[in-house]
Structure 1
Amino acid sequence: MNFTTMSDQAVANELGNRIEQMRLERNLTQQQVADEVGLSRVSYARLESGQAKLTNVIAVLRLFGQLAILDQAFPVVAFSPMEQLKLQGHQRQRASGKRQKHQSLTDKGRKKDGKEELDW
């Protein structure tokens, strides 16, 4: 299955379908799984339909003994050796994003009918 061509909701629906398949393979009802993880049956049914909170998905994966799939889905990514040398023991707290040159006030103005308007 090619998830990259699917919408976010379609991916969520597929995840719900796969969790439903795990439940059926264990011959459990929605109510039984919901009771085990502390959800209402309605909340669990929403999970299978792709409308779940992430914490609920994690609880169900834990119940089914499938938490290891999260390591496959979200592997730990280390900084490159060069980046680690630059940090020299400092743990990165945030991304810097792309830096832009500061614009002067006149650059920020817009022209309308030949007159300049400031963007406040």
Structure 2
Amino acid sequence: MNWYALSDLAILRELGSSLRQVRLNRNQSQQAVADAAGIDRATLSQIEHGRPTSLLTFVQLLRTLEQLELLDALMTRAEISPLVMARMAKKQRRNAYPPTSNTPPPPPPAEW
């Protein structure tokens, strides 16, 4: 589906319709899902018809319908390019050396 071609309200209608289909596939009534999600049945009906809702309510519905894995698509992970990883590997210390006599001792802690 080309989400960019849809208006915001059309996207809400599609999401509401999808939630409704999941609920029906699970053979659950609006009242049962609404009670389990902690929302009013009328609120669930409005969401299923594409009315705006809060993100919290949407997450509560996804949890109730056991569809939280749909949120995985929203998560992004920072990826490090192979070149950056190679540079970082070069800079890592590989050995520990004993202090030399030329190394000055660390300064004493400051007394406040």
State the TM-score, normalizing by the size of structure 2.
0.66
Alignment-derived partner of residue 69 in structure 1: 70
Is residue 54 of structure 2 the alignment partner of residue 53 of structure 1?
Answer: yes
| Greater share of strand | 1
Alignment-derived partner of residue 20 in structure 2: 20
Alignment-derived partner of residue 101 in structure 2: none
- Structure 1 residue 77: Cα displacement: 3.6
State the identity %: 37
| Greater share of helix | 2
State the TM-score, normalizing by the size of structure 1.
0.62
How many residues are matched? 82
Stretches (4+) displaced over 2 A? 79-82
Q: Which runs of 5+ in 2 are unaligned?
A: 89-112
Q: CA RMSD in A?
A: 1.7
SS of the equivalent of 2:10 reads: helix
Alignment-derived partner of residue 11 in structure 1: 11
Q: Deviations over 1:26-53 (max 9, x none)?
A: 1111111111111111111111122221
Q: Which runs of 5+ in 1 are unaligned?
A: 86-120
* Partners of 1:30 and 1:52 in 2: CA distance: 16
Quick check: which has more Rg, 1 or 2?
2
